[in-house]
Amino acid sequence: MKTQLGKLEKLSPRQAWKHEASEFTPWLAQEENLGLLADALGLSDLSLVQTEYPIGDFSLDILCTDDQGEVIIENQLDSTDHKHLGQILTYAAGVDAKKVIWIADSFRPEHIAALEFLNHNTTSDLNFFAVEISLWKIGDSQMAPNFKVVVKPNDWSKTTRVNARAISESTPVKQLQLKFWTEWIQYMTDRKSFLKNQKPYPAHWSSLSAGRSGFNYTAIINTRSDYIGAEVYISHANSKALFGELYKEKKNIEEQLGFDMDWQELPNKHACRIIATKPDSPLSDESKWSEYFEWLRVTLEKLDKVFRPIIKAL
């Protein structure tokens, strides 16, 4: 007996959402639907800040954050046009966005080329995505949304260009930092660490996701004072208040960690940090790098296990 199979039918998004602003944007802004979009894009999470976010005389459809900063989402239930291309650039500048997501029914080749051009010619911390939204059903089933990514940043290409520039133009210290983080990420991969690293860059720090926007773990190598460090970095809009809530748990947190931390509210800055350090750790001594890598891995994994549930509950 042959198995009876249904036929997938593609539908226009307008069959579910007649209006972008009053129907599609509120639907997409729901946590579960932002989660679907994040999964399609390969992002860790998208946290809603506001719909119809004002930027000058204009309104951005959706402003979100992820573990790297602001994310803008502009919706269009028709084929793309020049007006919306201009809008996403205006909005990106208005909030200093790290990621720009343009959602449409279909993308004209000229706009795909424009976004690919921007991905290729902008810095590594600014990324553009094009996503086609469609609806599908089988027979009399409910309509199901599908996000198809048609443009995304080429991380390998961007990182390669940034790192090549660093090698050719930067100071010996910057070149050593780049080498350190490149080997550190490989070390974490080889040991199958559950932590997610960013791409290696020539800097004194490397950021890792803490599972909530406005919070990061940071691995640090300080060449001036010759120490390495592992910290919880808080850059949330309510960073001072959230730091205060965490500080109330200081004794409990440090008992679970098994070591003390330096709690820095940084009153003259927006951000706060909670850091553990290992002194006498010069970057120039490459023979000790494996020791540094292991200390950073163990310490950061402890921070994640203790802080992550507390941070999520704030």
Residues 145 and 183 reside in one and the same domain? no
Q: Which residue has the higher pLDDT, 306 or 207?
A: 306
Boundary (domain end) residue, out of 119, 153, 187? 153
Query: How many C-beta atoms surround the C-beta of residue 275 within 10 A?
Result: 17
Comparing CA positions, the residue from 70, 235, 41 lying closest to residue 149 is 41
Query: Tell me: the pLDDT tens digits for 253-297?
Result: 999 999 999 999 998 888 899 999 999 999 999 999 999 999 999
CATH number of 87's domain: 3.40.1350.10
- Mean pLDDT within 164-192: 81
Based on the structure, what is the number of domains in the chain?
A: 2
CATH number of 290's domain: 3.30.1460
Query: Tell me: the pLDDT tens digits for 107-159?
Result: 999 999 999 999 988 877 789 999 999 999 988 889 999 999 999 987 644 45
Residues 42 and 141 reside in one and the same domain? yes
220 Cβ neighbours under 8 A, 6+ residues apart: 204, 205, 227, 228, 229, 230, 231, 275, 277
- Mean pLDDT within 52-58: 87
pLDDT band at 202 (very low <50, low <70, confident <90, very high): confident
160 pLDDT exceeds 60? no
pLDDT band at 87 (very low <50, low <70, confident <90, very high): very high
Boundary (domain end) residue, out of 97, 121, 153? 153
Identify whether 18 is part of a domain.
yes
- Alpha-carbon distance of 163 to 229, in angstroms, equals 23
- Mean pLDDT within 23-41: 91
162 pLDDT exceeds 70? no
Residues 297 and 185 reside in one and the same domain? yes
Identify whether 158 is part of a domain.
no
pLDDT at position 167: 52
pLDDT at position 67: 64
Residues 121 and 215 reside in one and the same domain? no
- Alpha-carbon distance of 245 to 264, in angstroms, equals 13
Residues 294 and 240 reside in one and the same domain? yes
Residues 230 and 307 reside in one and the same domain? yes
3 pLDDT exceeds 80? no
Domain of residue 275: give its range: 163-313
Identify whether 2 is part of a domain.
no
Residues 49 and 92 reside in one and the same domain? yes
Q: What is the mean pLDDT of the chain?
A: 88
Identify whether 1 is part of a domain.
no
- Mean pLDDT within 49-66: 87
Residues 226 and 129 reside in one and the same domain? no
Query: Tell me: the pLDDT tens digits for 214-231?
Result: 788 999 999 999 999 999
Residues 217 and 139 reside in one and the same domain? no
Identify whether 3 is part of a domain.
no
- The SS3 assignment for 267 reads coil
pLDDT at position 155: 60
Residue type, 252: N
Residues 71 and 32 reside in one and the same domain? yes
Identify whether 23 is part of a domain.
yes
Tell if the pTM clears 0.85, that is, is over it. Answer: no
Residues 141 and 167 reside in one and the same domain? no
- Mean pLDDT within 194-221: 83
Boundary (domain end) residue, out of 107, 131, 153? 153
Residues 96 and 208 reside in one and the same domain? no
